[in-house]
């Protein structure tokens, strides 16, 4: 199934999947709420970010490149800005995900340790209730309540870790792969049915469509 999905994408001569992004101009790649910010500090358009992340999810572990197609072919300066923007934006997302992972880990450890402490207290209270000459109902309820709270706290800490660690780790790797992907630029020639007349490969040695 994964191979069928990858086969729907165009590929470079080396077999890397090409994720195409078409726009009228470079400015369309960015959010427009801050007109004064330089391009490398602007947020990428939300739809573009969703499209790129979903494409990378879809192709799985396949190697890929990002290829931008503009009606107005950008200058070398703008191409470098786009490369810088993509890299910095997704590295920023990666850092946010790492921060969220650390926060989740602290929460899990805190809940688990709190549960252990409460469990120790509940065992001590249960012991006092057992050795007491008279066993009171409220004392028994309190002791049992502490035990339940302890197990709930430990389970919550463990469940938080087990359920959230893998998704956070996946997103960290996903954003890093996009940030480090090679960015290509090309412009179809008018009336050439998608044939390429301009290609900028940037770093590396990739062969674009001819």
Dump pLDDT digits (tens) for 7-35.
888 898 888 999 999 988 888 888 765 54
Q: Is the pLDDT of residue 144 over 60?
A: yes
Q: Could you tell me the pLDDT band of residue 109, with boundaries at 50, 70 and 90?
A: very high
pLDDT digits 0-9 by tens, 166-175: 999 999 999 9
Q: Could you tell me the pLDDT band of residue 135, with boundaries at 50, 70 and 90?
A: low
Give the residue, 26 or 189, on which the prediction is more confident.
Answer: 26
- Identify the H or E element spanning 23: strand 17-23
pLDDT reported for residue 72: 78
pLDDT digits 0-9 by tens, 36-91: 555 445 688 899 999 999 999 999 889 999 999 988 787 888 889 899 999 999 99
Give the residue, 57 or 189, on which the prediction is more confident.
Answer: 57
Give the residue, 135 or 192, on which the prediction is more confident.
Answer: 135
pLDDT reported for residue 6: 83
Residue spans per domain, the chain: 1-74+180-210, 99-179
3-class secondary-structure state, position 38: coil
Provide mean pLDDT across the span 138-167. 87
Q: Report which of 81, 79, 91, 72 is spatially closest to residue 184, judged by C-alpha positions.
A: 79
pLDDT reported for residue 196: 43
Q: Is the pLDDT of residue 208 over 50?
A: no
Q: Is the pLDDT of residue 131 over 90?
A: no
> Cα 169–104–97 angle (5° rounding)?
40
- Give the chain's mean pLDDT: 82
pLDDT reported for residue 133: 57
Which class for 108: exposed (0-12), middle (13-18), buried (19 or more C-beta within 10 A)?
buried
Distance of CA 43 to the CA centre of its chain: 15
């Amino acid at each position: 199934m994964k191979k069928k999905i990858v086969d729907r994408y165009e590929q470079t001569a080396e077999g890397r999947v090409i994720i195409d992004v078409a726009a009228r101009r470079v400015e369309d790649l960015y959010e427009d709420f801050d007109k004064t910010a330089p391009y490398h500090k602007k947020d990428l358009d939300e739809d573009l970010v969703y499209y790129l992340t979903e494409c990378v999810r879809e192709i799985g572990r396949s190697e890929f490149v990002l290829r931008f197609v503009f009606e107005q072919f950008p200058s070398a300066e703008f191409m470098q800005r786009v490369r810088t923007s993509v890299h910095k934006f997704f590295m920023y997302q990666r850092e946010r995900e790492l921060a969220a992972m650390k926060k989740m880990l602290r929460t899990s450890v805190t809940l688990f340790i709190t549960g252990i402490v409460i469990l120790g207290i509940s065992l001590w209270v249960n012991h006092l209730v057992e050795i007491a000459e008279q066993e009171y109902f409220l004392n028994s309820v309190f002791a049992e309540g502490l035990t339940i709270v302890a197990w709930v706290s430990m389970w919550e800490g463990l469940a938080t870790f087990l359920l959230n660690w893998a998704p956070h780790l996946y997103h960290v790797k996903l954003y890093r792969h996009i940030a480090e992907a090679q960015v290509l630029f090309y412009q179809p020639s008018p009336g050439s049915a998608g044939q390429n007349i301009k290609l900028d490969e940037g770093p590396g040695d990739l062969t674009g469509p001819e």
